[in-house]
Every structure is written in C-alpha cells, then in structure tokens.
Structure 1
Amino acid sequence: MTFLDRTPDIILTMNEEGVIVSQNETARRVFGDVGGKIYSEICKDDTCSVGDRYYSMVAIKGFRRTIVVGRDITERIRLEKELEDRERKFKALAELSPAGILVHHQGTILFVNEALCQIHGYTREELLNRKVWDLIHPDYHDLARAMMQKRLEGEKPVYELKTIRKDGSERWVLVAGGAIDWDGKKSVMAFAIDITDKKMIEQRLAEREELFRSIFNISPAGLYILVGGKFKLVNPAFERITGYSAEELVGMKSLEIVAEEDREFVRRKAIEMLKGRETEPYKYRVVRKDGKIRWVYENVASIAYEGERAALGSVIDITEIEEERKRLEELTSMLELINKTLRHDVLNALTSAMALLEMGIEESNKDYLNKALTSINRAVSIVRNMRAFEDAVKSGELRCIDVGELVSEVAKSFENVSVKGEGRALADEGLRSVVENIVNNAFIHSGTDRVEITVSEGKEWCEIRIADFGIGIPDEIKQRIFEEGFKYGKAAQTGLGLFIARKIVERYAGEIWVEDNEPKGSVFVIRLKKC
C-alpha cells in the first residue's frame, strides 16, 4: 500500500480529457472503481454527495494531468445546516417575541426584531448599522455603557433605561440580556420591554402618594391609619391632640389612648366599620400622654394600606366645644330653675304678702304685717339665691380661692360665727353664696346659738366644715335635703337653698354632705379640689 492509499482524503488523477486514470484506496471505497470514467459524471460541483456523505473536491492542474483531492465534509455540512436551522428558528421566535431584541457589536447594531422597531418608531433598515447610542437618552449613556461592560464580563444585569423614539418622544424600557458570539464577533444581545405605561402609572401613584402625604401632614384634623388595631401612620395634628410623638404611637394599640369608660363604645364602632356598615361620626374621650382628658369627634373609614385592610380615622379636638356645651346646659338648667322659681315660689310669696298687707292695714294688725314682711323677705331670699346661682354659673372658669379669707368675710355678716384654719381651693364667688346659705340656715332652722367653721387641707382636697349646735337633721332626710324643692321644718322656705349649694359645689367637681355634730347639731362638709 502506497502513501496515497493510506491518506483519508480522496485522490483522483485525470488526463486532459477529464477521464479518471487512477484512484487511491479511499476514492475506491467511496466511489467504487471509477477508472476510465469521466470525472464530471461523478462530481458535477465542488461538492460531491455519495449517499448521506458529503465531500469537498479540489482540482489541482498539472502538466497533462489533473489531480483531484476530496475531503469528507459531512460533519461540517451537518453543523452548517443545524446552524441555519437555529438561525431560522431564532429569527422566527425573535419576530414573534413581544420583547424588543437588539444585537450590537461595540455599539453598532447588527440585528433588531420587529418589536424593537415598533418601540422606537424606526424601520429595520434604518436601525441596522446604526449606533445604539442614538436610541438611548443622553442622561442614561453612562448607565448603558456600564451595563454593557458587565454583560461582556459575563454578568446579566437587569435595569430600566430611558430611550428616544424617532419622533423625539421618550420611552422607558426594561433591559436584560448578555454577551453572545454573532458572526464570530463578541457582541451584546439585549431584550427590551416597553414599560412606559407602567412608569407613568408609577409616577401618577408617586404624585398621588406625595399629595396624600402633604394633605395628611398639613391637615388641621388629626389623621391616623390603623392596621390590625395598631397605629401605622399618624399626622402632626394627631400628635398634638394626643401628646404622643409619631414614634411612640406607631405600633401602639389604638384603644390604649381611649378613656376606659369609652373603650367598649369605640370598639363597637370599629367592629361596625369593619363589617362594612356605614357609621356616623361619633365622639369620645382620649387620655393624653400627660394624663389630661380631651374630647374628640371621630369619623372612620375602611381602606387598603400597603396591601392590608386598614382603617383611616379623622379626629377633631372638640374639648372646648364640649365644655361650652356643658356650660350652656348648666345655663339652660339655671334659667329653667330661675323661671320655675320666679313663676311659682316668688309669685306665691308676693301674693301671700299682698293679702297679709291688706288684712294688716284694714285691721291695723301688726301680726299680719309681720307675716307679710316675712313673705316679702322670703321672696327677696329667693331672688338673691337665684342671682348667686346665676353669677356662679356665668362666671365660667374656676380660679384658686383663698378659702380661709372668703369664709372669714362671710362670717362678718353674722353674729357668733367663728372661723379657724386656712386653705386654697378651685372655686369662684359662688362659694360665698354656699357658705352664707348654710350659715343662714343654721341660725334659722336649727335654733343654734353659734356656728363654728373649720378650714383644712389634705393631700388633694380642701375641706370646709360648718358646725352648728341646734336640733340636728334626722338621718332619714340627710340625703334628701339637697334635692330640688325639698322642705323640712316649720321655718322651711323654698327648698332651693341647699339644692343650689349642691349644684354650685358640683361645678367645682367637689362634694357636699351633712353629718351629726357632737354633742348635738349638724356639720355640713364641703370638700373641694386643692390648688
């Protein structure tokens, strides 16, 4: 076997007429015995196919002879066909892809699909061989270069990029991709999804969020958001109402700042709201951080916040309004009382006095005249008591009163009244009427010959004890003597004096009651808040 027979290549020799005059062993194995045959009948082109094999044939002309060398290229042909098939499939997929696809080498565009053309408003022909930077907004060139470098280094970053269309309008795209070999060049393949609508929605949401935050924070009403019954967000006005900072409130249960006596009511309202029932605004009391009580008027609605079911509450501080309402109620009550008294008791007293005066004048009877004077004095007493009550309610705010000094001044209007001790309490001039009424009653009703007044202070209270040494007050009526219109004894008048005293003391958030004195008589105790 010669050297030519050992080579894996096909070796054929032809004469000038193209007739095969010799062949090596490889040619014989591939074509069979072809000696004497015309070469063009075996291979018409530079590539011969025999069965499922392909051979590349190269003719080398010499003097009077031509040598043809053939090499098996079946595997190469297979790979080429496979590559062509892949390219066909890639292009088909690329055209069907909703994402824009772009391939570039060092910034020069080598491939684009239809989706990318639509995103940017160019035709495919306009984009091929164009620089990719023409599509990217100048503000994002540095970002794009950095991401390109990362892709060439093997990374696969995903990022948002602002691009420019052919008409100059701007679009946002989400970009992903990586490095590939394209026609033997290390290139970058990028996938782009148009997210302009999403960015616009995000921008509008951000603007609304900013608007919400601005309104939320500058609102004069206290606003809060609850999630799971706990504060998630509060505004400055709510901080001012409660006295807590936002940091202290966030995470705190909302019921913790509600006055204990109102918690069940507020809890029921919250349940109604969460069940989807419409709830009218309502009021309740909150306990500030400093312990002070404030009245608030609240409206609550169910909302979604950060993907969770939540409650949005709006709170207005109505403490001053409630205090004014209470004061108006007291004034109304006072006017009703004064009206009732003037219509009934004063009219009766004056009617009686007129009748007694007529009889006394006609009969020159001093006893009738004295009785008439008593009736007139009774009417005067009623009017004075009403005036004192009116002044006390109208006075409005309480102030720190020197109780010892006030009681001493009252004692000067009577004989046999002693005062000892001192103290200060929250009250007003109405307290003077209370003390005068009790001292006057002691001399008129109990038959006492003296009254002793003691003023003292405790840790939280200032106490006034007005003691007489008369007949005393039966146990069965000790609670009733402060009721409106209650009368007892022969010297009883309107039944309003002690009722008015109680109403005045209650305005001071104080207490008044009566005890037995030793060895006899009664002690009226007035307990007021110390100041």
Structure 2
Amino acid sequence: MEKSLIEVLEIFSEDFEGMLQKLCNFIVKFPGINYLEIQANGFESKAGEPSGRIIEVKTEETIIRLCGDEEKIKRLIPLLNKIVRRALYFNEYEAFLDNTSDLILFLNEDEIIVDQNKTALEVIGDSVGKKFSEICREGLCSLKEKFYSVQKVKGFRRSIVVGRDVTERIRIERELEDRERKFKALAEFSPAGIVVHHQGEILFVNDALCKITGYTKEEITGRKVWDLIHPDHHELAEAMMKKRLEGERPVYELKILRKDGSEGWTLVAGGAIEWDGKKSVMAFALDITDRKILELKLKEKEELFRNIFNYSSAGQYILVNGTFRLVNPMFERITGYSADELYGRRSLEIVLEEDRERVREMAIKMLKGKDTEPYIYENVTSITYEGKRAVLGSVVDITELEKERKRIEELASMLELINKTLRHDVLNALTSATVFLEIGMDDNSKEYLNKALASINRAVHIVRNMRAFEDAVKSGELRCMDVREIVAEIAKSFDGVSIYGEGKALADDGLRSAVENIVNNAFIHSGTDRVEIVISETPEWCEIRIADFGVGIPDEIKEKIFDQGFKYGETAHTGLGLYIARKIVERYGGEIWVEDNCRKGQFL
C-alpha cells in the first residue's frame, strides 16, 4: 500500500509526458490489465503487451486503448479519462504560468511568498520566503523601470497575486497628460485665440479668444460658433470648415462680431482634430483689426497718392538707382516720351548733354535740403519705393508762366516809367509853357510865345512816346503783316523817306510804333535830311534796315542808346524812344542794333 502511494505521488511529480508513461506503467500492474496506450496533447505513452481484443475510447482530448478483463476495463476508463483530463489541465496551467508576461505570486495566510512563476523570477528574482509587502504593494507597482498593475485574489488557504505589465500604458497616459498640460499652457499663453467646436458648437476657448470677442469662457462655451462670425462671412466660414474636415488647412481673413456688437477682423487657420472622441475643428485666430484699419488707411492714402500723382498738373516721376520706375501723364506730355519708353531708362539721358552735370548737382543739393537757383523749376525728395531707396521728382512746365511773369515785371516797370514821365516831364513842360505864355502875352514877346510852343510840342512828343510805350507792353496776338505796307504808311508823315524791298513778319501794331520812333529820332537828332529803309527776308527772318545820313552816333554811347531813359545832346527828350523800339522788337523774338553807315550817319 505504501509503495503504491509513493508510485502515485511520483506520477504527478513528473512533467506531462513522463506522467503519462508512469501512469501506463502503474495501471498495467493491476491484475486483469495487460496493455494500456494513451495519446494526449501530442504525446503517446504505452505499457504491457496486447493479448486479445483491444478496447479503444476516444474523446476530444485523448485516445485510450486497453487490453485485458473487459469488466475491469469498463470501470477503469472513466477514471483514466478524468486523470488525463486533470493532467492536461495542470499541464496547460503550468505552461500558462511559465509563459505568461504577468507576474504570478502565491502567498500563504501570512502573505509570505510561497511560489512564483518564471516571469516573477526574472523580474524580482527568487522571492520565495519573502513578505509580499517588501516586494510590492497592491495597485500600481514599479519594478526595474517597469510598471505593473497588481491585483490580489484571496483563495481558501492561499492568495494569488497577479501583476500585469502596464509600462506602455503608463507611458502613453503620462505622455498624454504631458501633452495636455503643454497644450493648456500653450493655449493660455498663446497670443492667438483658440477655439474648438464640433458641428458648430463651441467646446473650448482660450483666454486670448475671450479677449478678442469680449466674452468670458463660461459665456462662450456651448454657444454656436456662428454667433461670433459676422453674417457677411457665414458662407465663407462654412466653406472653410468643410475644407478643414476634409483634411485641408486653409488660412483666411474673417470678419467677427464682438459681444458689444462691434466688428473686428481675424486671421484664421486650423484643421480637424479628435476632441473627446468627436471629430471637431480647431481654429487659431489672430486679431488683425488694427492692421485692417491701417490697411484701409494705407489704401486710401495710396489711392489719394495715385490720383494726385496721375492727375497732377506737375510732371512727376520716381527714380530707383537713377532709372525711371514710374512717371505720370503730365511728365509724358512735358518730355514727349511715353511711360514705356522711360521705364528703366536713366534720367540724365533725357537731359541735354551739356546740362547733365548741372542738373545732377542741383538734384543732389535738393536731396540735401539746400536751396538752388530760382531758375530751376524742379523739386526732388528722397522716398522709399517698393522697398528700395528712391527719388520722387516734380517738374513744372512754367514756360508760359515765366513769360507772363517777365511781361508783368516789364509792364510794371513801364507803367512806373509812364507814371513818372507823365507826372514829371509832361507837368514840367506844361508848367513852362504856361509861364512862357503869360510873359509873352504880357510883353507881347514872340520869343516867349515860341518857347511856350516848344514846351507844348515837347509835351505832345512825350504823350506820343507814351502811346508807343502802350504798344510796346501790349501782348496782342502776332499775325503775318506786310512790312512794306506799314513802312509806307509811316513814310507819309515825313519828307525824304525812301523805301526799298519788301517782306512779311509775325508782328502786331507795335511794329508801327517801333519804326516810327526810329525814323523820328533820325530826323530830330542826327540832322539828316533823308532816311532810307531797306526791307529783306530769309526763310526765318525779316530784316528792316533804317539808315540816316546825319552826324552819326559817337562810339562810346552806341551800347547805351537802347537803354531806358538814356539821353544825349541838346535835342534829347525823354530817352524812351529807342528803348521802346527795342522792347517791341524783343517781344517779337527779334533783335535791334546800331551800325555805322559807310556813307554817313547811322544804320539800324
């Protein structure tokens, strides 16, 4: 009996294969059983020699073949099936304990470790005999840089502790916690407003978005995102939201409505994300209201500049590195070049070569803020154009203004002279005439009467000169005039005037006063008894040569005779006759000068 018990215990101390073989050896020792074969879990064991009929029993797990006393075999088969089934169970249980990645510890009533599986041995070493609390604790346990979720199951006499490796899960959870912490920090400290919404319902906003919209987090969470968007931009926002949900990340400008009803502008970007298990949209919004206001002002200023630039009566241009980049229509008109012809061309190329250096020097002075000569009618200043240092120049075509200014200056000078002459010379002449008349009449003196007549004639001469002066300052329209016809009409007032040749000239009625003054001067001052007038013309000029045969003009005063108020000799009057003639001729764009007559007298 003792020997049999020992054999039975030895059976269950072996591994599964050895156990099957010892079981077969043990059974065939019983009387009436001479052969046993067992196939289970891929193992096959047999003992004895078959003699007679073999009885076979099959189950899902085993095949058993027996030979011997059939009555004993019938009683033995259920017992064998149960033993093999239990052996298979313990074999699988043992394999599970050795191969599982979980820690398995067996504790006694005093929570002393009495057994452990292979994984536990590898992780914590041989712990049999140690108190469980010294090794770990229930809940979360950290062992060798790994984390185990530990759970204890209490049995009848023993407790089983199972520790599952949750290192990866803990790593992911901590990473998610770290990401969440970083996201919250970024969200709260971000200057951009952040909003998360699902199907338009706001799930999250940061402080920056609250500042942009004027709402608190409590007021804005749960609202529809459309409440924050200006109605004019609902369609745009809806289209952009659809693109985000499709995986795109558009960036666009969006008009918003603040809590107080005011409008604002934001630059929006973002994309689709998972938020609490929902496919949502995260959007980032930068407040660009101030920038939009500035852009609007810049646009207005740009439009104003463009209108001023394009419609200015001054020719304007912009130079970069000395080449034209932009010109206005008036500059095209002044220069005769089109904008396309000027673009990229150096500015000095359109200036006469002999004037280039002077123009360059004047431009430098103006850029430095220095005054330039008043006859330069151009102004330049330094600007930035398309991100580069540039020059903005203005050119005013004041040709006509300059002519008018000079004419007005001359007119003022002449009027002053006329006023002075009329007040002084004519009054003196008439005063003298009055005195001479009174003496002559009282004394019945012919001499004083003749002096009175001379004074009156002098006054008349002065008034005639003033009339000629009037012709000189008139700016009548020039027309083609027959010079011979004018000279012939003048000659009727004098004896001894001969006329030769003919010609036409652009002039006005002032030409009559000029020629008449010269002829009158010749007879009065030179002592000549005749005057010759020769008219000739070329394709560009009409020349009138007036020659007298008198005493001539001294060389030392030839350069002065056309000056205002110059007088010489006893017959001198106001000194205005030749000055008036010069002014009239210059108004026509012509010249007047004096030459010696080779025969006698002067030639003008």
Provide TM-score, normalisation by structure 1. Answer: 0.71
Contact 1:222–1:316, Cα closer than 8 Å, also in 2:
yes
Offset of residue 407 of structure 1: 0.4
Secondary structure of the corresponding residue to residue 418 of structure 2 = helix
User: 2:210 — aligned with what?
Assistant: 117
Establish whether residue 87 from structure 1 lines up as the match of residue 180 from structure 2: yes
In the alignment, the residues of structure 2 paired with residue 136 and residue 15 of structure 1 have an alpha-carbon distance, to the nearest angstrom, of 69
In the alignment, the residues of structure 2 paired with residue 270 and residue 67 of structure 1 have an alpha-carbon distance, to the nearest angstrom, of 99
Establish whether residue 502 from structure 1 lines up as the match of residue 587 from structure 2: no
Establish whether residue 172 from structure 1 lines up as the match of residue 265 from structure 2: yes
From 527, 541, 544, the equivalent of 1:464 is 544
Offset of residue 475 of structure 1: 3.7
Q: How does 1:389-468 map to 2 (within 5 A)?
A: 389-393=468-472, 395-400=474-479, 401-446=481-526, 448-468=528-548
In the alignment, the residues of structure 1 paired with residue 151 and residue 95 of structure 2 have an alpha-carbon distance, to the nearest angstrom, of 19
Amino acid at match of 2:578: L
RCO comparison, higher one (Cα < 8 Å, 6+): 1
Secondary structure of the corresponding residue to residue 513 of structure 1 = coil
* Paired-residue identity, %: 52
Unaligned runs of 5+ in 2: 1-14, 16-93
RMSD: 5.3
From 420, 428, 431, the equivalent of 1:336 is 420
User: 1:511 — aligned with what?
Assistant: 591
Secondary structure of the corresponding residue to residue 505 of structure 2 = strand
User: 1:26 — aligned with what?
Assistant: 119
Contact 2:366–2:380, Cα closer than 8 Å, also in 1:
no
207 and 341 in structure 1: CA distance in 2 versus 1, 3 angstrom threshold: same
Secondary structure of the corresponding residue to residue 119 of structure 2 = helix
Offset of residue 440 of structure 1: 3.8
In the alignment, the residues of structure 1 paired with residue 256 and residue 224 of structure 2 have an alpha-carbon distance, to the nearest angstrom, of 13
Q: How does 1:85-234 map to 2 (within 5 A)?
A: 85-105=178-198, 107-148=200-241, 156-180=249-273, 182-183=275-276, 187-207=280-300, 210=303, 222=314
Secondary structure of the corresponding residue to residue 520 of structure 1 = coil
Offset of residue 117 of structure 1: 2.6
385 and 479 in structure 1: CA distance in 2 versus 1, 3 angstrom threshold: farther
In the alignment, the residues of structure 1 paired with residue 220 and residue 298 of structure 2 have an alpha-carbon distance, to the nearest angstrom, of 35
Per-residue displacement from partner, 1:415-449 (whole Å, max 9, x unpaired)?
Answer: 34232333333443333233233334444555545
Offset of residue 190 of structure 1: 2.7
In the alignment, the residues of structure 2 paired with residue 470 and residue 403 of structure 1 have an alpha-carbon distance, to the nearest angstrom, of 25
Contact 1:350–1:379, Cα closer than 8 Å, also in 2:
no
In the alignment, the residues of structure 2 paired with residue 34 and residue 498 of structure 1 have an alpha-carbon distance, to the nearest angstrom, of 140
From 71, 74, 79, the equivalent of 2:164 is 71
**Relative to structure 2, which stretch is displaced further, 161-170 or 443-452?**
443-452
Secondary structure of the corresponding residue to residue 511 of structure 1 = coil
Per-residue displacement from partner, 1:276-308 (whole Å, max 9, x unpaired)?
Answer: x8x8x996575xxxxxxxxxxx99999888886
Contact 2:432–2:455, Cα closer than 8 Å, also in 1:
no
Secondary structure of the corresponding residue to residue 186 of structure 2 = helix
Offset of residue 409 of structure 1: 0.9
Establish whether residue 3 from structure 1 lines up as the match of residue 95 from structure 2: yes
Offset of residue 472 of structure 1: 4.0
Establish whether residue 487 from structure 1 lines up as the match of residue 568 from structure 2: yes
Secondary structure of the corresponding residue to residue 533 of structure 2 = strand
Larger Rg: 2
Secondary structure of the corresponding residue to residue 418 of structure 1 = strand
Offset of residue 455 of structure 1: 1.5
Contact 2:318–2:327, Cα closer than 8 Å, also in 1:
no
Offset of residue 225 of structure 1: 7.9
Contact 2:251–2:269, Cα closer than 8 Å, also in 1:
yes
Amino acid at match of 1:429: D
Offset of residue 109 of structure 1: 3.7
Contact 1:12–1:24, Cα closer than 8 Å, also in 2:
yes
Q: How does 1:354-365 map to 2 (within 5 A)?
A: 361-362=444-445
Aligned residues: 500
Secondary structure of the corresponding residue to residue 592 of structure 2 = strand
Amino acid at match of 1:498: L
Offset of residue 89 of structure 1: 2.9
Amino acid at match of 1:512: I
Contact 2:214–2:260, Cα closer than 8 Å, also in 1:
yes
Per-residue displacement from partner, 1:286-344 (whole Å, max 9, x unpaired)?
Answer: 5xxxxxxxxxxx99999888886877979796555654343232222232234443245
